[in-house]
Amino acid sequence: MMRDRVAPRLRELGWKGSGQRFELPDPRAWVQLGFQSSRSNSASSLKFTINISVIDRQAWGAHQAEHPGLPAQPNPSTHYGPQFSPVRIGHLLAARQDTWWHISAAQPVDRVIRAANGVVASISDYAMPEIRHRLGHV
């Protein structure tokens, strides 16, 4: 689903990356999506959510200088403190609650395709406007 459906459509929207991490290039901020898998995933069933992270590069550099053990680039699914916390996509959706997608090996292909379409629509329709808003404050 990610490789064949979600990633190509994210690239059409300007995102770079693959797997569980995508970045929207911006000179002012680290703009990232982190696909977070559930700890209860198995070979036949998986759940995931999406973390959205917009972190000012200068602020991150200053924070990193104070905390030398931090990575050069923040992880989009890691909380580094109030100023550097990602937001879960579900909190941007109409329901305003944590949202996880569930995919199982038993699902028909059309349901997996609908789920992939829902993931991309959620990013395009809800995450992207929030990202633009946050970039306006960077």
In angstroms, the CA 108 to CA 122 distance is 21
In angstroms, the CA 77 to CA 43 distance is 23
Return the pLDDT at 137: 84
What's the domain count of the chain? 1
Q: In the predicted model, is pLDDT for residue 138 greater than 80?
A: no
In angstroms, the CA 48 to CA 26 distance is 26
pLDDT, tens digit, for every residue of 60-83? 999 999 999 999 999 999 999 988
pLDDT, tens digit, for every residue of 112-137? 999 999 999 999 999 999 999 999 98
For residues 30 and 54, is the Cβ–Cβ distance under 8 A?
yes
> What is the span of the domain harbouring residue 27?
2-135
